[in-house]
Amino acid sequence: MRSRYSAYVAQDIDYLEATLWPALQRHFDRAATAAWSAENHWIGLTVLETREGGARDSRGTVRFIARYLAGGELREHREHSLFRRKAGRWYYVEALKD
Residue, of 36 and 1, whose pLDDT is higher? 36
In tens, the pLDDT along 19-73 reads: 999 999 999 999 999 999 999 999 999 999 999 999 999 999 999 999 999 999 9
Asked if the model's pLDDT at residue 98 lies above 90, the reply is no
Residues 52, 15: Cα–Cα separation, whole Å: 23
Q: What is the pTM of this model?
A: 0.93
| Predicted pLDDT of residue 40 | 96
Tell me the CATH number at 34: 3.10.450.50
State the residue range of the domain holding 33: 2-95
Asked if the model's pLDDT at residue 79 lies above 80, the reply is yes
| Predicted pLDDT of residue 1 | 81
Torsion of CA 13, 18, 20, 23, to 10 degrees: 130
Domain count for the chain? 1
What pairing do the DSSP bridges indicate for beta strands 73-86 and 59-70? antiparallel
